[in-house]
Structure 1
């Protein structure tokens, strides 16, 4: 029991640290976005509803059982099911980050993007940390129908982009999920900067070598 408590304490502090880092750099704002991380016993710690990622308190994080039942902590975010969907489909994942980051949301609103893979492979680090980015059709925030749509897309990718909403990214660790989300946002920014210009993305052979 003490080992789990120690693990949970460290993970709570890490969630708070990552949340503040994302907030301070403008990758999230107000009370938008949420972070979760999974303990070795299957329980999940998650940022609560109406909480700014810039001012989280470790003891107020929501805690869920391995079966997805809210156990204690503050009232969970209404988007908790997004995280649970990712954990169900990506069983190796230890954390999930969901943001409303500006450039990623902007790309999700564009017409004529490829719903199977929204962003082209512009850089090596995007390919290594994100890989492919399918688009999930638009549903209102908190709509449980979004769960099925996310689960379907997450079968083949650890990162998905919610139309007119933002990215949901899973990683083996919280830092993996954070770095992949940041790489996604920077690639979305590059994509918008290059929009209308001829580009030279990585070739299929180059992508295969990186993977």
Structure 2
């Protein structure tokens, strides 16, 4: 990657962070964003940094093994990104947030651990697909890495119990769009709780996957 291209990627990560922060999808120093470099390493938002006030020069740079090689100290949640890159060759970016409605769903008792949200909208099916719940593990604990790793090969998005979503994408924009779609669907799901809902049927979901590829 040329210096100019890496510089542009740094700017784009910071712009995405600022957009998420302005719209209330992240707060304080929570959440992290990464984007893959051609050598297999990646750029990542550093620890204890607000996504609303990122410095392009201060982003963490990690090698393909997840070792810190330059920039600010990486977050303790860097392994969430590492396992997505390792298990998903097409993955070019990862977004992890503590977004309010998604976290709320992750705290509900009795949700389907194999598929946390019903297919309420076509765009949820197309951008997120099936969303498994990862059992609770302390943030930064290696047991969480192993739990996510078990699911990452088959799912580009997972929901961490009592924590938040981890979403990978074939580009930074795609990871962002899927994360936002997940949060809006979680919001709809919570708004509709207690009401009789009409999710898409299995046939309608399959048609979307056949026509648009699905997630």
* Shorter-chain TM-score tier: over 0.9
CA contact (8 A) 1:82 1:147 kept: yes
Unaligned runs of 5+ in 2: 210-215
Q: Runs of 5+ in structure 1 lacking a partner? A: none
Distance in structure 2 (CA, Å) of the matches to 1:76 and 1:108: 25
Return the alpha-carbon distance in structure 2 between the equivalents of residues 159 and 77 of structure 1. Answer: 20
The separation in 1 between residues aligned to 2:100 and 2:13, in whole angstroms, is 21
Match of 1:47 in 2: 45
Aligned equivalent of 2:16: 18
Runs of 4+ residues deviating >3 angstroms: none
Q: Following TM superposition, by how much is the alpha carbon of 1:4 offset from its aligned partner in structure 2, in angstroms?
A: 2.6
- Tell me which residue corresponds to 2:167: 169
- The answer (yes or no) to whether the contact 2:35–2:94 under 8 Å persists in 1 is yes
- Of 160-169 and 3-12, more deviation after overlay is shown by 3-12
In structure 2, distance between residues paired with 1:7 and 1:205 = 43
1:86 counterpart = 2:84: yes
Contact 1:7 1:39 in 2 (8 A): no
Equivalent in the alignment of 1:188:
186
What is the root-mean-square deviation in Å for CA atoms of aligned residues?
0.7
Distance 2:4 2:135 in 1: 40
Q: Which residue of 1 aligns with 2:212?
A: none
Partner Cα separation in structure 1 for residue 185 and residue 88 of structure 2: 23
Q: Which residue of 2 aligns with 1:32?
A: 30
In 2, Cα distance between the equivalents of 1:85 and 1:134? 16
Alpha-carbon distance in structure 1 between the residues aligned to 2:156 and 2:21: 23
| Counterparts of 2:64 and 2:6, CA distance in 1 | 14
Which runs of structure 2 are paired with 1:47-196 in the superposition (5 Å)?
Answer: 47-196=45-194
* TM superposition score normalised by structure 1: 0.98
Matched residue, 1:200 = 198
> Size of the alignment, in residue pairs?
209
Question: C-alpha separation between the residues in 1 aligned to 2:86 and 2:144?
Answer: 14
Deviation sequence 1:158-188 (CA, Å, 0-9, x none): 0000000000000000000000000000000
